Structure 1
Amino acid sequence: MSRRRLLATTGVLAAGGLAGCLGGDGGDGGSEAADGDTADGGDGDGSADEGAWRTAELTTVRGEESFILDGLEPPVVVQSFAVWCPKCGRQSEELAALAGSTTVVGLNTDPNEDAERVRRHAEQNGFDWRFAVVPAEMTDSLVEAFGPTVVNAPSTPLVIVCEGDATFDAGDVRNAEAVRALIDGC
């Protein structure tokens, strides 16, 4: 393969990857198709009530505490994100408006990012809720419960953990009011 062709191919792949991460905020924000099937290959209703993801022990990136999602007072807004993702940052800014009125947890699902990097990201951006790096077993459980979109950071996945149930939503950055509406569905 010529150097020119290799560079062109690399450029096309990079542009495609960035298109998902830098995409606009104009979508409907949902993950369900009109026929009720989820676009992400999940269970069809966007919800899951069981799974190891709810009971996996996590440690905050600040080292302050260990916790499990099921041990937190519902409703809990869980953001699956990566530090490198600009859309995730915009979603976090919207979630900052909820901090204090509801429990927010940031779960980093990028296997290439460690707790120190996530801690710096949270501190530099003034995000003061719980952040944790997700272990591989929990990532697998999240994917089993909600489909692969739950670990696709540019799709800005959110899981709303209610009493005994959870609802998955992805597709776009949701403003604080839209997230509150998801919470009201608990």
Structure 2
Amino acid sequence: AVWCPTCILQAAYIYKLHDLLGHPDDLISVSLDVDLNEDTADLKEYTAEYGFDWHFAIAPLEIDRALGNLYSAQYLNPPLAPMLIIDRQGNVHLLPYGLKDTETLQEAVEPYLNQ
């Protein structure tokens, strides 16, 4: 969510992760905005303001519901910084709730990059 200070900080750590790892082609980040009050224009302004250069999308209500049903309603609470990793085989790995710094993200993704 563009209003969420935790989200901005988490995204900054993701940005630093890509830099730290040298922008590998097989590390693809996607940020889903689950705030139904925001739109594409909000996201474009947000990504331009902070220089975030990966994929951002507004999650439609159906996706919000599916995320909530699959992983819990906490996945729809942006300040909890919910994140998951999808590996090369399509397996989903949930990361702990809360802000994850660059080093923590690196530890989480590197095993899957080296598969």
Shorter-chain TM-score range: 0.7 to 0.9
Contact 1:95/1:176 (8 A) holds in 2: yes
**Secondary structure of the residue that 1:110 maps to in structure 2?**
coil
Indicate whether 1:147 and 2:72 are aligned: yes
For residue 114 of structure 1, what is the amino acid of its counterpart? D
Report the alpha carbon displacement of residue 152 of structure 1 after superposing the two structures with TM.
0.4
Q: Which has the larger radius of gyration?
A: 1
Indicate whether 1:89 and 2:8 are aligned: yes
Which structure has greater helix proportion?
A: 2
Aligned-pair Cα RMSD in Å: 1.3
Residue of structure 2 in register with 1:111 after alignment: 36
CA distances 1:144-182 after superposition (whole Å, capped 9, x unpaired): 111011110000111111122111224321111111222
Residues 29-68 of structure 1 aligned to structure 2 (within 5 Å): none
Runs of 4+ in 1 over 4 A off after TM superposition: none
Report the alpha carbon displacement of residue 86 of structure 1 after superposing the two structures with TM.
0.2
CA distances 1:70-102 after superposition (whole Å, capped 9, x unpaired): xxxxxxxxxxxx110001100000000123232
Alpha-carbon distance in structure 2 between the residues aligned to 1:183 and 1:87: 20
Please give the TM-score of this superposition, normalised by the length of structure 2: 0.84
Q: Percent identity?
A: 28
Please give the TM-score of this superposition, normalised by the length of structure 1: 0.54
Alpha-carbon distance in structure 1 between the residues aligned to 2:94 and 2:76: 12
- Structure 1, unmatched stretches of 5+, are 1-81
Residue of structure 2 in register with 1:168 after alignment: 94
Alpha-carbon distance in structure 2 between the residues aligned to 1:85 and 1:135: 19
Indicate whether 1:177 and 2:100 are aligned: no
**Secondary structure of the residue that 1:98 maps to in structure 2?**
helix
**Secondary structure of the residue that 1:171 maps to in structure 2?**
coil
Alpha-carbon distance in structure 1 between the residues aligned to 2:55 and 2:11: 12
For residue 56 of structure 2, what is the amino acid of its counterpart? F
For residue 121 of structure 1, what is the amino acid of its counterpart? Y
Contact 1:149/1:170 (8 A) holds in 2: no
Alpha-carbon distance in structure 1 between the residues aligned to 2:110 and 2:15: 18
